[in-house]
């Protein structure tokens, strides 16, 4: 019934489901939670706005026979509060608009064959929206609840210099380990990401932040109750157990964000 399906995250899979009405959340799903509160601005921090049109969010679900790619251009928004004298005191909240998500597929006949070209299927993309419960038949109120992935920074760590102002040059790079609350499909879990931060300077003024993944971020869809659905509130006959032979059930999410001073 659902053949070439996917799902992100962030978004960006793992659940069981049977046809008919939705029988409740996945057994390992996190509790339902409200939207995350805006990040608090530390006293000494500088404020930066995420540039939606310059940011990229992608994911990959890999398998020997089929690869599923997700691309959400122009989907990121939010703000970062960066303490330039102690980056570990920084905070922020980023949102990803899942309505911007487009999914592509790449297949081959067997493990010895070459992969074909990357193609987009309108049916597959419709299925993705149903999995996320933001499809065309979802009530507007439910779409609003499920539309965004949110990530709120709670802790920033680095093994290098914490004081960006002590570094030199027009581009100053730091490797960060960032831990925060990750909310997808109304369910929040703690997530840690390995990121590279580049702060661009003109003279002694920071003019731009570049933030990108050093490692892809795995998203466990079972914890967010994202699973095959035919329509809003209706689980599909196909389950992740049957689909997992074709694709990896854990999307690997990567991001590249740009932000400029407020």
* Contact of 180 with 151, CB cutoff 8 Å: yes
CATH code of 200's domain:
2.40.128.110
Residue 14 lies in a domain: no
| pLDDT the model gives residue 254 | 97
Total domains present in the chain:
1
| Structural domain containing residue 219 | 20-261
pLDDT at 226: 87
Asked whether residue 12 is assigned to any structural domain, the reply reads: no
Evaluate whether residue 6 is within a structural domain.
no
Determine, yes or no, domain membership for 11: no
pLDDT of residue 92: 99
144 occurs within a structural domain? yes
Mean pLDDT, 10 residues at a time, the chain of 262 residues? 40 34 72 96 98 96 89 97 98 98 94 94 91 92 96 97 97 98 97 98 97 96 84 54 55 97 96
For the entire predicted model, the pTM comes to 0.85
pLDDT at res. 220: 92
188/185 Cα distance (integer angstroms): 8
pLDDT score for 233:
57
CA 196 to CA 255: how far, in whole Å? 11
Query: Would residue 208 count as lying in a domain?
Result: yes
pLDDT for res 259: 99
pLDDT at 26: 76
């Amino acid at each position: 019934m659902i053949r070439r399906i996917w799902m992100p995250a962030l978004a960006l899979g793992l659940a069981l489901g049977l046809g008919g009405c939705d029988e409740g959340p996945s057994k390992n799903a996190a509790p339902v939670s409200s939207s995350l509160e805006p990040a608090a601005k530390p006293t000494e921090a500088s404020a930066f706005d995420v540039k939606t049109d310059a940011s990229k969010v992608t994911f990959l679900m890999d398998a020997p026979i089929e690869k599923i790619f997700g691309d959400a251009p122009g989907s990121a928004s939010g703000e970062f509060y960066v303490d330039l004298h102690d980056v570990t005191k920084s905070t922020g909240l980023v949102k990803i608009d899942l309505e911007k998500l487009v999914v592509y597929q790449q297949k081959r006949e067997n493990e010895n064959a070459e992969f074909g070209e990357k193609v987009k299927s309108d049916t597959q993309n419709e299925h993705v929206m149903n999995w996320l419960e933001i499809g065309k038949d979802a009530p507007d109120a439910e779409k609003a609840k499920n539309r965004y992935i949110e990530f709120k920074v709670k802790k920033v760590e680095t093994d290098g210099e914490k004081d960006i102002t002590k570094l030199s040059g027009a581009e100053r790079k730091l490797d960060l380990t960032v831990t925060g609350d990750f909310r997808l499909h109304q369910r929040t879990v703690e997530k840690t990401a390995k990121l590279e931060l580049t702060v661009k300077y003109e003279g002694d003024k920071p003019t731009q932040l570049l933030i990108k993944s050093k490692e892809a971020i795995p998203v466990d869809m079972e914890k967010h109750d994202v699973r095959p659905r035919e329509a809003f509130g209706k689980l599909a006959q196909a389950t992740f157990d049957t689909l997992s032979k074709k694709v990896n059930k854990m999307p690997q999410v990567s991001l590249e964000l740009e932000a400029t001073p407020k």
